[in-house]
Amino acid sequence: MTFTENHPGGEKNMKMNETHQPCNPKQEKSLYRIGIFAAMNHVTIKTLRFYEEKGLLIPACIQEDNGYRYYTLDQSAVLQKINSLKSAGFTLDEIHALHNGGNQKDIISQRKAKILDEIARLTSQLAVLETCGSQDVKMLSSAVTLRNIENVTVACMDETITSYDCLFDAMPEMGELMEKVNCICAVPDYCFTMYMDDGYQEENIHVRLCQAVEEEKQAFGKLQFETLEEIQAACIYHHGSYDTLHHTYASILSWIEKNGYQIDGQIRESYIDGVWNQEDENSWLTEIQIPVRKG
C-alpha cells in the first residue's frame, strides 16, 4: 500500500530529525511501511524505532488510527548517513549534534583526535607484540641460575619516580655527583637498580640507583655510599626492550616458586648493555637478580 506526502514549507527532502506528519490521502511521495523500509535498507525494525526514539530518523508519517509508521525513499539516504557516521565511531549523541546545529568542525576534529590516540595506543601494543615474538627464542633460552653475588661497595642515590619509564631520568644527576667526589667505577662494571617497595607500584615508586665503585667516599648531597653484603640470588638474563621485562620476571618468579625458594631482599636489575652503548634495542642486555633463601 502506498500513500503520498505533503511537506510543510515546500521542502522536497526529509531532514534527519523532522517531525512526522499524520498520513493523509493527498500526499505525493510513495511511503513504505516500517517493515518494508527496514528490509530495503538491511536494518532491523528495532533499529529504526531506536533511531526514532533518539530523534535521528523520524518516520515521514504515522497513521493515527493504528500507529503504523511510514518512510520515504529520501530517508534511505539519511539512514545510510547515520550508519556511515556510526562506522566512523561517532556516538548517536554526536550524530544528533551534527545534524542539529552542532559545530561540525569541532565534533569531527574531536573524533579525529580520538582515532589518532587509538592508533597510537594500538601501534604501541603492536610494537610490544612484535618484540615479544622476535625475542621469544632468546628469552626461553636464558635459563635461571642460582649464584652468590659477592659483597660490593656502591655509590647510591634514593629516588621516587612517577613511573618505570622515568627510571633512567635520575641517572645523569647521579653521574654528576659521582664526578664531583672523584668516584672511580669498579671493574667489571656493575650498575643496578634496587626496588625498595614491597610489591609492584603503579606510581610513587621508590628505587635505589647503585653503581659499584672502588672505594667508599663521604656522602655528598643525595649521593650516599654503602657496602652491600654477599647474597645468594636467582638470576636470569633479559634480552631486548624493557617493555617486555615482565615476561622474564614471570619466568624467574615461577622458577623460584617451583624450586622451593623465597625472596629474601630487594630485587636488583643490573644493566649490562643498553641505550648508552647499543643503538639496537634487540642488543640490550639486563640481568634480573633476586635474593633468595630456601623455604
Domains, the chain, ordered by start: 8-98 (1.10.1660.10), 142-294 (3.20.80.10)
Predicted local confidence at residue 172, as pLDDT = 86
Strands (E), 76-213: 145-149, 152-161, 191-195, 205-212
DSSP string, 66-90: T--EEE-THHHHHHHHHHHHHHTT-
CA distance 115 to 123: 12
C-alpha cell at 81: 548517513
Predicted local confidence at residue 278, as pLDDT = 86
* Peptide bond preceding 25 in cis form (omega within 30 of 0): no
> How confident is the prediction along the chain (295 residues), in pLDDT tens digits per residue?
333 333 333 333 444 555 555 665 455 678 899 999 988 888 899 999 999 988 889 999 998 888 899 999 989 988 988 888 888 888 888 888 887 767 778 888 888 888 888 887 777 667 656 655 554 444 444 688 999 999 999 999 999 888 777 777 878 888 899 999 999 999 889 999 998 887 767 778 889 999 999 999 999 999 999 999 999 999 999 988 888 888 888 889 989 998 999 999 999 999 998 888 888 888 889 999 999 998 7
Residue 55 φ/ψ region, left for φ over 0, alpha for ψ in the -120 to 50 degree band, beta for the rest: left
Predicted local confidence at residue 212, as pLDDT = 95
DSSP, collapsed to helix, strand or coil, labels residue 33 as: strand
